[in-house]
Chains A and B, each alone.
Chain A
């Protein structure tokens, strides 16, 4: 195949090669850059939304799609016959700065294939980032990938220059990694992650004492797990995420539904990316980080995969009806969070509002509580909402995330279309806001 020559052609190719990395965040940076181009925005900014419904906030590209590795799931693998290209550091900088000045992006997300060796590749990345930070005095957001197996000194410099760094685990178990991506060992991936976690923790301590202490990856580090390319259960994946959060000081774990880009006997031939499964994992991830749940509460060995029909929080509530009802006027914050239909924001509002006046169901609705779900699990002033019956099958019906289509509303097949645009849109919205 002919190799692309022009900047436009190279950019198209290297953007397509980078899009399977789910990370899109531009938040977490308070970087100020008086007199220079670019600064951080703490909450992050979405500049656009792509045709697959994802936020676009960074120039997400590969430095090159050349790669000496042959990971089965990757479109850029060595044995895949595709056009290859490489951008120079100057070209990356020029594109970044020009998009930035037009307010198309918050900054750069730079990943790459492996060229010659992990260290050599890491150095190419660092040369590019140094050019932006030091010569162009660029203060915007930079998310830099860390190459598995790279020298600790290079990893440290990456964390020094970037706002966020990440190294992707991709396969949720050592066995799967060995079978599908033998060029990357578990150790090679986890070492830089551990090192970065230490740097971040230490720098946080130092900066508490002195503002001038160096900052390492102020927006933290993250990783990605591919869902559906290997046989691990939801429980195994969630337990892995839980221990990563606990031990590696990770800001986020991203779950990316496997998109078959190349056919390989080591990978399953899926008809479509497992989007529902990915969605459930994001919901569970939110429950771990913000709702005080543990992986063991959400899943168990006998039922290690999420229910298709109910979100993990509702499923838990149905299994633990003995914990309800919860009285909104007096319950603890942690108890309110476990009610389906009360999210973090509504729970906080309840705590504030109830100190000023008695809350009834009308008030709760105004505070953002989804009464359709919550009313089975709460009382206000000692009373349930009028007219509800509290036996289990009725509750289940009301907690179903997807309602079967009514016969009169639409022609055509009556079955549930879990992947319809509408359903996807609703569920993705909940995944992003984390309120449910």
Chain B
């Protein structure tokens, strides 16, 4: 049976609940866009039930651990094709090992789930450093990102905790969504851009000052561009003013 869900986390949880409640092995757990085009495949479309999803996750935590729940959520955010099936196998193994699931590091499924979860967490952590804001003419601080994984929810708390008192927006260009704050609360949702952004009058001054600071920070006798490149992959450089248009600093 091929299970189809809406691509959201509660959607996946609803689907997993359905699978565990029935017998038989799933062949694939995926979204309609990614579904294999087979004429005679048996497909079941699962309608997301948020309350059921919540209860399922709570039951998973009881049977395994909070760490397992974290891993399931973070691995899901990788958006990797096949992550649904992988997480099914992970939780099935969890039924056997219970709260020892995440200790079984030598098990290939456990290891794979951990790897994806760690990649997602790693990108979220790096994003806390690489997300850069620019002040717009209306006083909003705007940042755009193009992360590999869907990490917005993982950085929301970090920025909400430090940027009280002014309005800011982080825009995931790839996924056309973002998080917006008025300095107190945070909203997340779809973003549609209308027109080009206009920066505040002082914004070019601060961008220039940052570049000047950055230019003086390195000790010339210790120059090591390879090491610098290792730490800042090209995909993140677009957004960093100090790294210049061609990726050099």
Q: Are A429 and B217 in contact (CB under 8 A)?
A: no
With A43-B125, A356-B100 known to touch, is A272 a contact of B232 (CB < 8 Å)?
A: no
A421 touches B97 (CB 8 A): no
Chain A residue numbers with a CB within 8 Å of B141 are 101-102
Q: Does B54 contact A (CB under 8 A)?
A: no
Kindly name the residue among A356, A363, A428 whose own CB sees the greatest number of chain B CB atoms within 10 A.
Answer: A356
Residues A48 and B240 in contact, CB atoms below 8 Å apart? yes
Closest to A8 in B: B212
For residue B221, which residues in chain A have a CB less than 8 angstroms away from its CB? 259, 272-273
> Given the complex, which residues of A lie within 8 Å of B55, measured CB to CB?
none
Asked if B148 lies at the interface with its beta carbon under 8 angstroms from chain A, I say no
Q: Indicate if the CB atoms of A101 and B231 lie closer than 8 Å.
A: no
Q: Decide if A47 touches B218 in the complex (CB within 8 Å).
A: no
**Which A residue sits closest to B240, measured CB to CB?**
A48
Q: Choose from B108, B135, B164, B217 the contact partner of A15 (Cβ within 8 Å).
A: B217
Name the A residues within 8 Å of B231 (CB-CB). 46, 49, 53, 55
B166 in contact (CB, < 8 A): yes
- Residue of A37, A53, A422, A424 with most partner-chain B CB within 10 A: A53
CB atoms of B131 and A51 under 8 A apart = no
- On whether A19 and B163 interact (CB within 8 A), knowing A356-B97, A357-B107, the answer reads no
CA distance A366 to B133 in the complex (A): 39
Q: Which of A28-36, A184-192, A400-408 contacts B (4 or more CB under 8 A)?
A: A28-36
B223 touches A102 (CB 8 A): no
Is B34 on the interface with A (CB-CB < 8 A)? no
| Binary contact readout A1-28 vs B (1 if CB under 8 angstroms, 0 otherwise) | 0000001100110011001100000000
The answer to whether B103 and A353 have CB atoms under 8 Å apart is yes
**B222 proximal to A (CB < 8 A):** yes
Q: Which residues of A contact B22 (CB under 8 A)?
A: none
Docked pose: A352 CA to B114 CA in angstroms: 14
CB of A50 within 8 A of CB of B132, answer no
B-contact bits for A259-303, CB 8 A (1 contact / 0 none): 100000000000011010000000000000000000000000000
Contact of A37 among B165, B206, B230 (CB under 8 A): B165
With known contacts A46-B231, A353-B103, A54–B212 Cβ distance under 8 A: no
Total chain B interface residues with beta-carbon distance under 8 A:
58
User: Please, how many angstroms separate the alpha-carbon atoms of A324 and B223 in the complex?
Assistant: 40
B216: chain A residues at CB < 8 Å are 12, 15-16, 19
Q: Is the CB of A35 within 8 A of B111?
A: no
In the complex, the answer to whether B162 meets A139 with C-beta atoms within 8 Å is yes
**Residue A38 at the chain B interface, CB threshold 8 Å:** yes
Contact A59 B213 (CB under 8 A): yes
B212 touching A12 by the CB < 8 A rule?
A: yes
Chain A 343-365 residues near chain B, CB threshold 8 A: 349, 352-353, 355-357, 359, 363
CB distance B227 to A421 under 8 Å?
yes
- A37 close to B214 (CB less than 8 A): no
Is A53 touching B213 in the complex (CB atoms < 8 A)?
no
Question: Smallest Cβ distance from A97 to chain B, in angstroms?
Answer: 10
Tell me if B106 and A50 are in contact (CB < 8 A). Answer: no
Alpha-carbon distance between A406 and B106 when the two chains are bound, in angstroms: 36
Complex interface: chain A residues within 8 A of B225 (CB): 51, 53, 421
Residue in A45, A53, A54, A95 whose CB lies within 8 Å of B129: A45
Residues of B within 8 A of A56 (CB): 214, 217
Q: Smallest distance from the beta carbon of B150 to chain A beta carbons, Å?
A: 20
A88, CB-defined interface residue at 8 Å: no
Please pick, from B126, B217, B224, the residue contacting A60 in the complex, using a CB distance under 8 A.
B217
Assess whether B161 is in contact with A48, with CB atoms less than 8 Å apart: no
Q: Are A101 and B129 closer than 8 Å at their CB atoms?
A: no
Q: A32-B161, A59-B213, A359-B106 are in contact. Are A52 and B219 (CB under 8 A)?
A: yes
* Number of A interface residues in the complex (CB < 8 A): 64
Interface residue? A245 (CB, 8 A): no
| A52 in contact with B222 (CB, 8 Å) | yes
Task: Decide if B210 touches A52 in the complex (CB within 8 Å).
Answer: no
Contact check, B218 vs A51: say whether CB atoms are below 8 A apart: yes
From known contacts A103-B131, A353-B105, infer whether A48 and B213 are also in contact, taking CB-CB under 8 Å: no
Q: Which residues on A sit within 8 Å (CB–CB) of B37?
A: none
Q: A317 an interface residue at 8 Å Cβ cutoff?
A: no
Known contacts A102-B134, A259-B219, A428-B224; decide if A8 and B208 are in contact (CB<8 Å): yes
Q: Whole-angstrom distance between the alpha carbons of A34 and B208 in the complex?
A: 30
Q: Does A87 have its Cβ within 8 Å of any Cβ on chain B?
A: no
Contacts of B23 in A (CB 8 A): none
Q: State whether the Cβ of B137 lies closer than 8 Å to any Cβ in chain A.
A: no
Interface string of B79-109 (1 = CB under 8 A from A): 0000000000000000001001011111110
**A104 within 8 A of partner (CB):** yes
A176 within 8 A of B: no
CB-defined contacts of A139 to chain B, threshold 8 Å: 162
| Docked-complex contact A103 and B230, CB < 8 angstroms | no
Once A32-B161, A36-B165, A357-B107 are accepted as A-B contacts, the answer to whether A429 and B228 lie under 8 Å apart by CB is: no
Q: List 6 A-B contacts (CB under 8 A).
A: A12-B215, A49-B232, A53-B231, A95-B209, A98-B209, A357-B104
The 9 A-B residue pairs whose C-beta atoms are closest, nearest first, are A53-B227, A363-B106, A52-B222, A51-B218, A421-B226, A15-B216, A50-B218, A53-B224, A353-B105
Known: A101-B166, A275-B222, A357-B104. 16 other contacts (CB 8 A): A11-B212, A37-B166, A45-B125, A48-B214, A48-B242, A49-B232, A50-B214, A51-B223, A51-B225, A52-B228, A57-B129, A103-B133, A353-B105, A355-B100, A356-B107, A424-B226
Residues of B within 8 A of A (CB): 97, 100, 102-108, 111, 125-126, 128-135, 141, 143, 158-159, 161-166, 206, 208-210, 212-228, 230-232, 240, 242-243, 249
